[in-house]
Amino acid sequence: MVAIGCDEISYCRGECYLTSVVDHPTGAIVWCAVGRNVQTLQGFFDELGERKQSIRRSRSTMAGGYEKAIRENAP
């Protein structure tokens, strides 16, 4: 993976959220979890392990501290 996108979607009438990560070149959702904060996205990077070093570009919403998780984990 070299380019990812991170976003959240609400369900249950806007009271619950899912964070999803998409692989931009393929358009495939590669990861999804309940929540929309820095800890939620950190779970993606934890599962990715050393493979996160291949990420060169990212896009995300400003919600939930996604930017912080990306800066701490992607080169």
The tokens for 56 are 């060169």
Contact 66, 41 (CB under 8 A): yes
Which helix (H) or strand (E) segment is 18 a member of? strand 16-23
Helix 38-48 vs helix 66-73: crossing angle, to nearest 10: 30
pLDDT in tens, the chain (75 residues): 899 999 999 988 878 999 999 999 999 999 999 999 999 999 999 999 999 999 999 999 877 689 999 999 987
Instruction: Tell me which residue range forms the domain holding 68.
Output: 3-73
Alpha-carbon span 49 to 36, nearest angstrom = 20
Q: Model-level pTM?
A: 0.88
Q: Into how many domains does the chain fold? A: 1
